[in-house]
Structure 1
Amino acid sequence: MRTFAGSGIACEAIVPRGSVSARDPNALETLARQLGSGPFSLIMLFVSPAADLERLPSQAARVFGDIPIVGCTTAGEISDAGYNEDSIVAIALPAAYFRVDTLTIPDLLRLDPPALAAALVRTRTAMAERHPELAHEFAILLVDGLSQKEDELTSALAAGMGATPMLGGSAGDGTRFTRTFVLDGRRLSENAAALVLVRTECPVRVFNFDHLVPTERRMVVTEADPRHRIVRQINAEPAAREYARLVGMDPEQLSTFTFAAHPVAVRMGMRHHVRAIRQVMENGDLIFFSAIDEGVVLTITEPGDMIGQLNRELTRLSLPERPTAILAFDCILRRLEAEEKQIVGRVSELLRRHRVIGFCTYGEQFGPMHVNQTMTGVAIYPPGTVLPEKVP
């Protein structure tokens, strides 16, 4: 058991975690034993689609009782083993260090942004009044990854978030892209989202990074269906064929590995943000993970050194002291790239060393934006840790 210098607090006591095979019929009982007795303010479950999803809500209610629960299905998990698959990962926030409140958005097709922002302001204000002694706060947003509503939702929530940093991930379905679910309380729902507001005495640091290098190759979306995130034409040519030409590929050979190796991005200010391609349709249209529209100029990027970048960023998060835990939402395309380059073992070793836990997503939420091909998350430090204003 690792303790923190000067605190005497075991890291497992601040953010307990566990993982188990998704096919274990007693998976949640095993996780409950791994997490310990609590009391807990919240339990998060990141669940492989290989699990028995139909029984999951009732099992969670039986095993965890009245403890608030949120979670979602995944495109892979991150556990103490690093990258994992066909598992359920659990994270608990003990009442000794954390207080939470949750907002459910049950129907993303009927978003009411002003009402949602107002409800969020009321909830945040009430939490601050109840727990003025807890100086640190953040919010976690889990969204149906096939809803195609993440951009609209993050924008609506940003209006009521104030200075509270928001991060999160879009639920996954492995590489099938068929059905994704969000778990909120005792319901497993499609077309829904769950927002968790957290106040804590633990200092936190929210982060978002990628390892992509923009090239000089650019293209313009000339025909699109923004509602469904479909691009039909690029540079006035069939979308898949033109994209393939620009990346030097045979259009018939395009795959998720191609999209992971040659991401396209939109420049915003001084930074490029990926607008990841999800899949190619039989008619040659391209479906994107994020919002897309006609007239958008896309830059083709190339992956840099994933291992080096991951090591640098996680090391920076360990200054001046190692976090008790790093909760991370890691895009599925990063994992596919690691598989293609046969560096999964090296990535997993870094994730283990830095106590990263979380899941692989269909997209990441960071502040008011829905982004792709990043690792986004929050590092949680022992109470009393003094964090510098700027990370070296």
Structure 2
Amino acid sequence: MIKAGVGRSNNPDAIKAGAEAAKEALGEAGGKANLIFVFSTVAYDQEKMLEGVRSVSKEIPLVGCSTSGEIATEGPVSKHVAVMALNSDTIKFTIGLGKGVGVDSHKAGAMVAKDVQGKTEETLSLFMMLPDGLTGNGAAIVRGVQEVLGKNFPIMGGSAGDDFAFKKTYEYYQDQVLTDAVVGVGFSGKFSWGVGVRHGWEPIGLPMKVTKAEGAKLIEINNRPALSIYEDYFGKRAEELVKEPIAKMAYTYPLGMSVEGSPELLI
């Protein structure tokens, strides 16, 4: 059996916000939990917010990351901290950490997978990861995890955000606030699971070809600066786009790649 509780808060005081969200989540989970997830806006002082959560959750294993919007039972919000408490007598949760995403994303992925695998007493069935969303290559992190757990091992998760500022994200592991890291959770025991992914975006315009890239950084498309694509579509100059508007445009109108066997583009 698994019981879950969700809490959220937008209290202006970071410590109180973390504590309020954690208290609500634990209360809904029956007063105890085996794992705590924390998702928070970067508007809060990250250390103080996590201090507030831990003042309530104590030594319960904790993972999480900063966000660009939070989703709770009542629906999506922004500038909040959201906490989920999981309480189960059939599932064992094992948490792990990988560092240095920006230096070697593949190595960081392998590191977090090995950390989880080494601590797990039972056979792993599912792996969840929350990597830094800006410093590294998400695909390389996944490949690092697969190198350890197996190419076809089920993996799910999502990258950390920073309220669309695209400057710095944070990852939470126990009482630590980190950056340039990936946190992971291994699930083992007797349970059923399913993973589904859809984004809903539809392609506009004609297909183009990436002609220059460095890791996760897109430099040229059709032998032109990548930024020129947004100049063409939105009629703004590059010096205007590199300011705040480009972050919003890149999220609202992202670039996508076709993937063999998939009806949707990879965003």
Corresponding residue for residue 94 of structure 1: 87
The Cα shift of 1:202 comes to 4.0
1:44 & 1:215 partners in 2: Cα distance?
37
Give the secondary structure class of the aligned counterpart of 1:54: helix
Corresponding residue for residue 368 of structure 1: none
Q: Deviations over 1:149-197 (max 9, x none)?
A: 3221111101223454211111111021121100001110011110101
1:59 & 1:117 partners in 2: Cα distance?
26
TM-score normalised over the length of structure 2: 0.81
The Cα shift of 1:61 comes to 3.4
Corresponding residue for residue 112 of structure 1: 107
Corresponding residue for residue 45 of structure 1: 38
The Cα shift of 1:118 comes to 7.5
Residues 210 and 29 (structure 1), Cα distance of their counterparts in 2 relative to 1, 3 Å cut: closer
- 1:21 and 2:10 matched: yes
Deviates more, 1:202-211 or 1:25-34: 25-34
1:243 & 1:178 partners in 2: Cα distance?
20
By percentage of residues, which structure has more strand? 1
1:114 & 1:70 partners in 2: Cα distance?
16
Corresponding residue for residue 33 of structure 1: 23
The Cα shift of 1:53 comes to 1.1
2:22 & 2:252 partners in 1: Cα distance?
39
Residues 206 and 88 (structure 1), Cα distance of their counterparts in 2 relative to 1, 3 Å cut: same
1:23 partner amino acid: P
Alignment of 1:112-261 (within 5 A): 112=107, 116=111, 119=114, 122-123=117-118, 126-128=121-123, 137-162=125-150, 164-214=153-203, 217-224=206-213, 226-227=214-215, 229-231=217-219, 233-245=220-232, 247=233, 249-252=234-237, 255=245, 256-261=247-252
List runs of 5+ in structure 2 lacking aligned partners.
none
Residues 151 and 138 (structure 1), Cα distance of their counterparts in 2 relative to 1, 3 Å cut: same
1:151 partner amino acid: A
- 1:71 and 2:60 matched: no
The answer as to whether partners of 1:23 and 1:52 remain within 8 angstroms in 2 is no
Task: Determine which of 260, 264, 271 is the counterpart of 2:255.
Answer: 264
1:18 & 1:69 partners in 2: Cα distance?
15
The Cα shift of 1:261 comes to 4.8
2:112 & 2:6 partners in 1: Cα distance?
32
Across the aligned residues of Structure 1 and Structure 2, the Cα RMSD in angstroms comes to 3.0
1:59 & 1:216 partners in 2: Cα distance?
48
TM-score normalised over the length of structure 1: 0.57
The Cα shift of 1:83 comes to 1.3
Task: Tell which has more relative contact order, 1 or 2 (C-alpha 8 A, sep 6+).
Answer: 1
The Cα shift of 1:147 comes to 1.4
List runs of 5+ in structure 1 lacking aligned partners.
1-8, 130-136, 275-370, 373-392
The Cα shift of 1:81 comes to 2.4
Matched residue count: 254
Instruction: Point out the structure with max Rg over C-alpha.
Output: 1
Q: State the percentage of identical aligned residues.
A: 23
